[in-house]
Structure 1
């Protein structure tokens, strides 16, 4: 069996293949302006005005939140899923730091905005393909096909 997940496996007898590594980006609600002609997004205004939606991804939140809270007083709200986080941001209920791959469509459609000008050092996230330690030839072929289909290679 092949399993895609966003954090490394913790079970014995399981191998992992990193199939993608994506940067984490700051994502905010669309501000109503055409992003090319509107005013630049002020990250400090966002930090003070909106809650930070946290813990929607298993890899990076503890360290990132610690760094942010060392510099700023921010309101936070725990959200357990990336899809819920995106919906909340689209509705103007907060902002977050999400894997770029997870918000690619919303950014392209103008439903969310990316903030590149900020003082935070952001991590990358990985997506893993988990396999049995000794996969069969057919399983290896399926793995190769799946990675090609996803456009990751």
Structure 2
């Protein structure tokens, strides 16, 4: 009986130590493999997801499917920042109603962590609920910084239901 108890304790300690080493191992592997930074910079998938915003001049974004760090899910979420072409925000403001509104949360999902602290300095966020989309398993939230022509976005299944199962460009 005593021997069995010692064996269980040894397995528990070994598993606990392995769990603590795993995040450190993953971080070292990321640095060693040169995968810096932990976000995408290609604006093309965003232009496809948000055609009213394009063309975009810069992008910094992440996907819930990056590196499969989360639990498997049929849903795709993309989140980040993009820079609008000069004059695009003025064009959008002329066609839609905007209100001053801050994003509700600061990149709280596990995959959004690389975005914390990124984005424009001292943004003056505005939002048009007319430009947000929702329903049928997808939703989009957009905030625009008046001073830098930057859009902050978070979108669930931005390419529609048909692409949510794996054929997305992200």
TM range (shorter): under 0.3
Instruction: Give the TM-score taking structure 2 as reference length.
Output: 0.24
Q: Larger radius of gyration, structure 1 or 2?
A: 2
Q: Which structure would you say has the larger RCO, counting Cα contacts within 8 Å and 6 or more residues apart? A: 1
Greater fraction of residues in strand = 1
